[in-house]
Chain A
Amino acid sequence: MIQRTEIDNNELIEMVKKGNKQAFCQLVKKYYSTVIYFLLGHGVSRSDAEDVSQEAFINAFTKIDQYKSSGSFVGWLLRIARNQHIDKLRKEKKAEISVDTYDMQEFPDERTPESQVVSSCGVDDIFAGLRSRERVILELRVFQVLPFAEIAELMGSSEGNVRLVFHRLINKLRKLHQEKVG
């Protein structure tokens, strides 16, 4: 299943390299949610995430020749989005901090008090109960199957820290799932 996705991606990327804009739109549709989610996990507001992701996609289109199929496309795309976000911060002089030195423990917890009370109704409620960084790690690890080293680089953290957070999260989810199931 994963291999088939990669083949599809490579086919789309080859088409984009030949200038096929429709193929690029397919990639945008496919990875829009991941890029937005990733930016939200970095404390970017929804409207800013839309702007940054748009610039990141355009950048990816212009630099598609630089992408090497040996690496993961989503990791490459998220690196562009992260750099775009840093550039935006620098331009606006909003903050002098670098995402590279961003401590994962300091990610903002944007949950409302209501959402922090995890209900046992379904998967959406469980996700709503997670912190933004946890959701990003879950998305990148479980659904995008990125290695810990790449996630750590994207999150501006150490591999060990990401590994620790992920396995704690799995334990948390396991308990929630067990409560839900029975």
Chain B
Amino acid sequence: MAKNECEKIIDLAIEQGNTGGLVDKHARHCPECAAALACLLWLKHSGSPTAGFEPSASYLGQIDKKISAPRVLASSNVSTGIKAVVAAFIATALAMAIITGLWSNNASDHTSKNIVTAPSALDNANGEALTETAEQNGKIENSAPIMQFTSPADDVD
């Protein structure tokens, strides 16, 4: 029998058990595999080589003590806690960014309106129709007290 085929049969027997006819069929014609399968069965019945190791009571007690400690219990919830804090922080930052954005947008709209109207006011100095803002500005200018000083040029002969 091919070596690879024998190895596949052993793997199949370990992973799926000796359930399929494929393993039985192969073992009937391959004495080496039949012996290996018998050996595996014997090993399984004998138990794991690790069976001799058992945790002592003090070992289990120490683990129980450590996993009961608040630090460990807290750290088991740390990831959940961190996620909640990060989510809250992001939400707050996002809300603040939106509010700041809206506020600055309003402010810039107001400024740009003034900037746009300013040249139109200058244009209106040439006799064109005044904008509402310019009219208001004019009213303010008219209502403001006018201070008059004698010009130094008046003294010049």
Contact = CB atoms under 8 A, between A and B. Distances in A.
Interface of A: 1-2, 19, 21, 24-25, 28-29, 32-34, 36-37, 50, 54, 57-58, 61-62, 64-65, 122-123, 127, 130, 135, 138-139, 141-143, 145, 163, 167, 170-171, 173-174, 177-178
A143 B72 contact: no
A64 B15 CA distance: 26
A143 B67 contact: no
Query: Chain B contact residues (Cβ within 8 angstroms of A): what range?
Result: 35 or more
B55 A29 contact: yes
A57 B76 CA distance: 13
19 contacts: A28-B63, A29-B60, A32-B55, A33-B48, A33-B52, A54-B59, A54-B62, A54-B63, A54-B66, A58-B63, A58-B67, A61-B76, A65-B79, A123-B42, A123-B47, A130-B49, A145-B14, A174-B32, A177-B39
Interface in B77-128: 79
B43 A36 contact: no
B154 interface: no
Consensus secondary structure, chain A interface: helix
Of B44, B48, B59, most buried by chain A (CB within 10 Å of CB) is B48
B50 interface: yes
B15 A145 contact: yes
A142 B63 contact: no
Contacts of A174: 32, 35-36, 39
A57 B63 contact: yes
B148 interface: no
Given A21-B64, A25-B64, A54-B63, A33 B39 contact: no
A171 B48 CA distance: 18
Contacts of B75: 62
Contacts of B49: 37, 127, 130, 135, 138-139
Contact of A33 (B14, B17, B44, B53): B53
Nearest to A58: B66
Contacts of A32: 53-55, 59
Contact of A141 (B14, B17, B36): B14
Given A62-B76, A170-B10, A177-B35, A36 B60 contact: no
A160 B36 CA distance: 20
A89 to B, nearest CB: 22
A178 B47 CA distance: 18
Nearest to B16: A2
B127 to A, nearest CB: 79
A170 B33 CA distance: 10
A24 B65 CA distance: 13
Contacts of A173: 36, 39, 43
A43 B137 CA distance: 91
Nearest to A38: B50
A62 B72 contact: yes
Contacts of A143: 44, 48, 50
B136 interface: no
B131 interface: no
A170 B39 contact: yes
Given A62-B75, A65-B79, A123-B43, A37 B15 contact: no
